Structure 1
C-alpha cells in the first residue's frame, strides 16, 4: 500500500482514504491536506472523515459505503461546503493488510457560474434536507437540535445559530447554540431575558413576520434594547424566525452574520425548518415529562427509588455520603382510622420537615412511609448536627419519624449495603420510641 500512496501523493486531484467501520481518516494526499488546512499527515490521525471532509459532527447521510465494492468505482457529483467547490467523485474499496478501506478521488470542477455571489436556492434546500436526515439519526431530541443547528450554521456560513424559548415566567432563555470556530459562545449570557428586550420581535411574530436585519445600525434608534444586546455580541446582521406550537409563539431561532448572498432566502429556509425544530422540541418535552414520571414520587415530588439509584451511580467510590433513613411512625393507624387523605397529609408534613432542615441533601421516597436523604461529601459531625435539627423540627410540627443516620463510601460498603447501617439505626430509634411511649407496636 505504501507505493500506491506514493502514486497519489502529488496528484492534482483530492485523494483521501478512511476506515468504513470507524470513519477514521487513514490517508490524505498533499492536495487534500493543503485544501483542508493541514500541514502533515500526523495531524489527521484519529480524526473522523465526516468531521474533516464535510464539517459535520455526525456521519454523513450521503455516505455510500454500503454501495462500494473492490475493483469498481461509484461516480457522483457533490458541492463540498468546506472547501466550497463542486467535485466529481469516484469512490471504491481497497484492501490493506486484510482490512477494507474506502478510497475517494475527487476532481475539482471549479465554482459554478454564480457560486461566488449567491448559493442556488435548491442547493441550500438540499443541504437542509441532508441536515434534517442527519439530525434524525441522533439518539435524543437534544442531540437532534444541537446537530441541526450545527449543520445549519455551517451550511449558511454563519457565526452562530441558536434557539430561544419562553420560560415559565415569560422571559426568554437561549436553550441551544452553535458557534463557529473562533466565535465566542453567548448562551450563558442570554438566559432569562426580560420581555422588553424581545418585545418588538414578538409583536412582529404575532403578525407572522420574520426578522431580517442586514445592518444592525438600522435598529439603533427604533429598537435600542435589542440593539444593545446584539451589539455586545459583535452581530452586524441576522435572520430570525418565530417558533409556533398550535399557533402560539413559544420562542424563536435564527442565524447571526450570514453572508449577504444568503439573506434573501434565509428566512424562507429557516421557516421551513422551523416546523421540524418545533417537532423536536415537542419530543424533548415529552421525554422530559416521561423522565419526571419515571423518577419522581407523584405525592411528595421527591425522587423515587429509581432516582436514588441513578443519583448514587454518579458518585465516585471514595466520596463520603451522608445517609439519613427515615420512617413515618403511625402511618398505618392514620390510614386505617382516619382515611388515606389524612395519611397523605401526614406524609406531606413529614416531607416539609425534611425539606426545611436537610437543605443540602437530595431527598427520596423509597416506600410508603420510608424516606432517604443523601448528601455527598459530608462528615459525621455535620451529619449528626443536621439530624438533630431534623428531630427538633419534627417535634415542633408534631410529626413522629424514626431516624437513623451514617456516613459511608460506596468503595467500602457498595451500593447494596449503603442503606444497611442507617436503616438498622432507624429501627433502633423506632423501637426506642415504642419503649418510651409504652405503645403496643403491633396494635399501632
Structure 2
C-alpha cells in the first residue's frame, strides 16, 4: 500500500496513515501538509496524528479506531478547528508497510464551502423552494448519477426549459455527460461527445473569469460568431444560459439550460450559479468514490488486483460466448522460508519477480493476488492453443529462475464455471508444488 504514496500526493483530498496502537503519523500527503501548514514530510516523523491533525496533546475523545475494518470504509463527518474546515471522512484499515500490520488510512474531502453555502441558502433563499429541493435531493441520494439526473429534471421543469445538461471537460475535449429533455424534445447527449473545447473559445474566456454565458437570441451570433452558431443551431437552441463548474481555479465543465423564457435569463443564471457548485461537489464525490473503489480492489505491493476483485470477477457463471477462458494458478515457492531467513523485504522482492514474469507473458490478462503467496491469472477472449503456449512459456521462465513458482493450468469451456476451472488449476498447482519440496 505504501507504493501508492506518490499517487496520493497528486490527489486534492487530504490523506493520512497512522498507527492504530501508537497513534504515530506514518504518512501525510502533499494536500494534507498544505492544509496543516507543513512544508516537508520530515516534519511529521515521530509525531502523533492527534498532535499534527487536531492540535491535541492526547488521543482524541472521538477516535473511532475500534470501528474500523479492512473490508469497508467508515464514512463520517467532522469539523476541524486546526484546519478551519468541515470534512467528509472515509476510513479503513490497510497494510501500509506490506508487513501484515494494519494501520488507519483516512481520506478527507474538504466540504467546508458546501456546508457554509447550504447554511447561507437556508437563511437567505427561503423563497427559492425549488433550489432548496434540488440541493436536498443532491445530498440525500447515495447515487451521484441519480441525484444529478433528478436535479436536472426538477430544474428543467421549474425553469420551463427544453433541456438541462452537464458537460465535463477532459483535457482538450468535452463530453455531454448528463441530460434531461422535456417531452417531445430530442436528446442530444449521444451526439455531443469528444467536442473540441476550442469550439466554445468565447465561453471558456468567460468561464475562467467565473462568468456565465447568456444567449438571448441565437440568431444574433450568426454573423458575429458563425462557428458557435453552427454548433448550436442544429440543436434547435434559441436561448441559452450556461455557468461554469470550477475546481481549484480550473474549469472542469459547465451546467446549462436550453430555451428558457427570454425575460428571466438573468435570474435563471443566478439560480444556476448556486446549483453549479453543488453539481461540482457531486461530480467530485463520484470521482472520489471511483478512486476508492479502485483502491479497494488493488493489491498495494504488486499492483495486481486483490482477492476482493477476484471474488467479484469469478462469481458470475461462465457464459458461452464462443470461446473458453484460461486459468493459471500460481504459488510462489519458498516465500515463507525467504521471509523467515532474509526478512520481508526479500520476500516482497520474490513476489515482485514473480509478477514481472507473469506480466511479461500475460500482460493482457487479468491478474490477481489471492493470498500471501498465491496468484491467479484469468485469460478471456483467447484461443485455447495460444493460452496453453503462453502458459508453457511462463512455466519455463519460472523454471529458469530456479523454480520460482509452481503452476496449475486449466481451461474453462461451456459447461464449466470459472470457479470449477480455478479449483482444477489449484489442484494441479499443488501436484507440481510437491516436487519442489521433495
Q: TM-score range by the shorter chain?
A: 0.5 to 0.7
CA separation of 1:318 and 1:254: change in aligned 2, threshold 3 A: same
Larger mean CA deviation between 224-233 and 290-299 belongs to 224-233
2:166 to 154, 160, 163: 163
**Counterpart in 1 of 2:275?**
273
CA separation of 1:382 and 1:267: change in aligned 2, threshold 3 A: same
Tell me the distance in 1 between the aligned counterparts of 2:217 and 2:404: 68
Q: TM-score, normalised by structure 1?
A: 0.59
CA drift at 1:272 = 1.0
Deviations 1:373-408 (CA, angstroms, capped at 9, x unpaired): 224566644532342454467689999443322123
Tell me the distance in 2 between the aligned counterparts of 1:353 and 1:249: 43
Query: Are residue 420 (structure 1) and residue 429 (structure 2) matched?
Result: no
**Counterpart in 1 of 2:369?**
365
CA separation of 1:127 and 1:343: change in aligned 2, threshold 3 A: same
Q: TM-score, normalised by structure 2?
A: 0.60
Q: Check the 8 A contact 1:156/1:262 in 2, yes or no.
A: no
CA drift at 1:419 = 1.9
CA drift at 1:293 = 2.0
SS in 1 for 2:388: helix
Tell me the distance in 2 between the aligned counterparts of 1:392 and 1:273: 60
Query: Are residue 325 (structure 1) and residue 329 (structure 2) matched?
Result: yes
Tell me the distance in 2 between the aligned counterparts of 1:406 and 1:337: 34
Tell me the distance in 1 between the aligned counterparts of 2:402 and 2:268: 65
2:251 to 246, 249, 252: 249
Query: Are residue 354 (structure 1) and residue 358 (structure 2) matched?
Result: yes
1:128 to 126, 131, 134: 131
Deviations 1:87-137 (CA, angstroms, capped at 9, x unpaired): xxxxxxxxxxxxxxxxxxxxxxxxxxxxxxxxxxx9993223223334444
Q: Check the 8 A contact 1:379/1:407 in 2, yes or no.
A: no
CA separation of 1:222 and 1:372: change in aligned 2, threshold 3 A: farther
CA separation of 1:390 and 1:126: change in aligned 2, threshold 3 A: same
Alignment of 1:31-430 (within 5 A): 125-167=128-170, 169=171, 171-220=173-222, 222-316=224-318, 320-332=324-336, 340-341=344-345, 343-358=347-362, 360-376=364-380, 380-391=384-395, 400-408=404-412, 412=416, 415=419, 417-430=420-433
CA separation of 1:423 and 1:246: change in aligned 2, threshold 3 A: same
In the alignment of these two chains, the number of paired residues is 312
CA drift at 1:274 = 1.4
CA drift at 1:318 = 5.9
Q: Check the 8 A contact 2:314/2:418 in 1, yes or no.
A: no
**Counterpart in 1 of 2:98?**
none
Larger mean CA deviation between 391-400 and 287-296 belongs to 391-400
CA drift at 1:267 = 0.8
SS in 1 for 2:161: coil
Q: Check the 8 A contact 2:215/2:241 in 1, yes or no.
A: yes
Tell me the distance in 1 between the aligned counterparts of 2:223 and 2:403: 62
Deviations 1:25-73 (CA, angstroms, capped at 9, x unpaired): xxxxxxxxxxxxxxxxxxxxxxxxxxxxxxxxxxxxxxxxxxxxxxxxx
Tell me the distance in 2 between the aligned counterparts of 1:141 and 1:148: 11
CA separation of 1:428 and 1:193: change in aligned 2, threshold 3 A: farther
Tell me the distance in 2 between the aligned counterparts of 1:184 and 1:398: 65
Tell me the distance in 1 between the aligned counterparts of 2:405 and 2:226: 58
Tell me the distance in 2 between the aligned counterparts of 1:255 and 1:131: 15
CA drift at 1:308 = 1.7
Tell me the distance in 2 between the aligned counterparts of 1:253 and 1:213: 14
Tell me the distance in 2 between the aligned counterparts of 1:170 and 1:429: 53
CA RMSD of aligned residues (A): 3.6
Unaligned runs of 5+ in 1: 1-121, 435-440
